[in-house]
């Protein structure tokens, strides 16, 4: 015979805590990102699960990249009782400050499987370039 320790109120208490918990405030909505540099491109990936690409707005102003997205709450009828609500809904945004060495006129965006991918090329003036060396027979003299 096995002795099991049981607390019949544990599951009821856990359910009550979940039901009484306040939903997450809108400011906690986040767009986690990964950023990489690959050659002359900066790549940024943002998680936007459940967001329709039609509800994603990307703008650049003074080298500030702003991504706004909207995930509407699911519509429910009066006979549906919500038991747990942990996912965030509504409109949220994220701003990234881009360096002046990026070409903000040529940003490309793609959306696939809930991930927004941005490709930002390095500006021509910021790319490394070779300086040719002129071989002279006489050294250059500075006028003093």
Contact 67, 60 (CB under 8 A): no
Instruction: Please give the pLDDT value at position 137.
Output: 72
pLDDT in tens, 83-95: 888 888 889 899 9
What residue ranges define each of the domains in the chain, with the CATH number in brackets? 27-73+88-126 (2.60.40.790)
Residues 6+ apart with CB under 8 A from 19: 83, 84
Tens of pLDDT, residues 32-53: 999 999 999 999 999 999 899 9
Given this model, what pLDDT does residue 31 score? 86
21 pLDDT band (50/70/90 cuts)?
low
Q: Which residue has the tokens 């996912």?
A: 87
- Predicted local confidence at residue 25, as pLDDT: 46
For residue 46, what are the CA distances in angstroms to 54, 67, 133?
Answer: 16, 9, 44
Q: Which residue has the tokens 């707005």?
A: 57
Angstrom distances, CA of residue 66 to CA of 3, 30, 47, 138:
59, 13, 15, 56
């Amino acid at each position: 015979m096995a002795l099991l320790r049981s607390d019949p109120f544990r599951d009821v208490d856990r359910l009550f805590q979940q039901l009484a918990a306040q939903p997450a405030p809108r400011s906690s909505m986040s767009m986690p990102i990964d950023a990489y540099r690959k050659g002359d491109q900066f790549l940024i990936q943002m998680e936007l699960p459940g967001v329709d690409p039609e509800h994603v707005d990307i703008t650049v102003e003074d080298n500030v990249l702003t991504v706004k997205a909207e995930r509407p709450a699911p519509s429910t009828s009066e006979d549906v009782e919500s038991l747990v609500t942990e996912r965030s809904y509504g409109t949220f945004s994220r701003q990234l400050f881009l360096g002046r060495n990026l070409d903000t006129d040529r940003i490309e965006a793609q959306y696939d499987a809930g991930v927004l991918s941005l490709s930002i090329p390095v500006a021509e003036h910021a790319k490394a370039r070779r300086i040719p060396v002129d071989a002279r027979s006489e050294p250059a003299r500075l006028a003093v």
